Amino acid sequence: MKKNHNLNPNLNSKDSEIVLELKTPIGPMTARIGARGLSALRFPAPGEQVLTDRADAPVTLVGQAPPEGHPDFSPGLLRVADAVSAWLSAFFAGRPLPEPPALDFSGASEFERRVWQATREIPAGETRSYGQIAARIGRPGATRAVGGALGRNPLVLLVPCHRVIASGGGSRRLCGFTAGLALKEYLLDLETRVRC
């Protein structure tokens, strides 16, 4: 029997979901949190991105989560929201990363889960090619499918698709990043600066 690592027993089992905006050093990010954990973390739109040398500003929630007594209130959802904020703050500041929040991959195919897990194993400051990810999951001919799965990645940074690049040439070949190549290059440079 396979273990389901996506479920978090500390979350309430009701069907509530909250969508929060987070103020981050790169601009506003959006997090969607449900009963199974964090199901989406989105980059700012290209026009809202702030790509500066100062990435150590704290990550804060914009607005408020539902208050106690509200139908969408759940202490478990708030714990995940706090964990997302703490993880992002550590990421941007170059500090050791805390345990990631519970992640919800329930809408993903088995192939997507395997691609995303292999991508999560790429150390900060390093890159892999789409072909290397395909080989890592035992599907060496599935380079384009890997690119497609990464393009559908709902959990940016936690599934660090910015670390996956085109193969060949020896230098960093950036391609295929839905949030824009400027942000991809910025994140790779940030990780190299703060982690290496």
HEC string of the chain? CCCCCCCCCCCCCCCCEEEEEEEECCEEEEEEEECCEEEEEECCCHHHCCCCCCCCCCCEEECCCCCCCCCCCCHHHHHHHHHHHHHHHHHHHCCCCCCCCCECCCCCCHHHHHHHHHHHCCCCCCCEEHHHHHHHCCCCCCHHHHHHHHHCCCEECCECHHHEECCCCCCCCCCCCCCCHHHHHHHHHHHHHHHC
Contacts of 11 (CB under 8 A, 6+ apart): 35, 36, 37, 74, 76, 77, 79, 80, 102
Reply yes or no on whether 161 is catalytic: yes
> Which residue has 């408020």 as its token pair?
64
Q: Which two tokens stand for residue 119?
A: 């991508």
Catalytic residue (choose from 86, 155, 161, 165) = 161
Active site residues: 161
